[in-house]
Amino acid sequence: MKIEVSFEGNKKVNANFNGYTVKTDQPVTEGGEGTAPTPFELFLASLATCAGIYIKSFCDNRNLPTDKIRIFQDVEYNESTNMAVKINIEIQVPEDFPENYREALIAVAGKCKVKKHLFNPPEVVAFTTVK
């Protein structure tokens, strides 16, 4: 997949791929207009939604309803570096969710492809070309 980045104006930077445009912006406090998530917020959302699709697939394969399952993610930061040091994913299930599948939800959330890339990160290489 090839992603083309475009600049919409001010601090808005968009990713265009597969017929989609994913918009990003910066908060007003950082010179942006606050019209879209920041790139890092999109990264965090991709981790949460990735865990979500694994949980959804697990439940679908077992005919378990997902309408009352909620996933919440929060981030703990190092105050001096402002870098994330811990990402917590809370999976809330209703009282009637089968006990024997609760630990399995944690395991399947851990199979998320985004999470796996954090533990074995790809090399990222930037370079310039002239056209």
State how many domains the chain has: 2
The answer on 57 and 42 residing in a single domain is yes
The answer on 60 and 13 residing in a single domain is no
The answer on 53 and 15 residing in a single domain is no
- What is the rounded distance in angstroms from the CA atom of residue 54 to the CA atom of residue 70? 13
* Number of alpha helices (DSSP H) and beta strands (DSSP E) in the chain: 3, 5
Chain-centroid distance of CA 6 in Å reads 21
The answer on 67 and 50 residing in a single domain is yes
User: pTM of the entire structure?
Assistant: 0.90
Q: Which two tokens stand for residue 70?
A: 């909620």
- Whichever domain contains 94, its CATH number is 3.30.300.20
The answer on 13 and 50 residing in a single domain is no
Chain-centroid distance of CA 69 in Å reads 18
CA torsion sign for 75, 80, 81, 82 is: positive
Q: Which two tokens stand for residue 25?
A: 């912006």
- What is the rounded distance in angstroms from the CA atom of residue 26 to the CA atom of residue 77? 19
- Domain residue limits at 76: 38-119
User: In tens digits, what is the pLDDT along the chain, a chain of 131 residues?
Assistant: 999 999 999 999 999 999 999 999 999 999 999 999 999 999 999 999 999 999 999 999 999 999 999 999 999 999 999 999 999 999 999 999 999 999 999 999 999 999 999 999 999 999 999 99
pLDDT of residue 55: 98
Residues in Cβ contact with 115 at an 8 Å cutoff, skipping those fewer than 6 apart? 47, 50, 51
Domain membership of residue 125 (yes or no) is no
Contact present, 50 and 112 (Cβ < 8 Å): yes
The answer on 101 and 43 residing in a single domain is yes
The answer on 32 and 49 residing in a single domain is no
The answer on 50 and 3 residing in a single domain is no
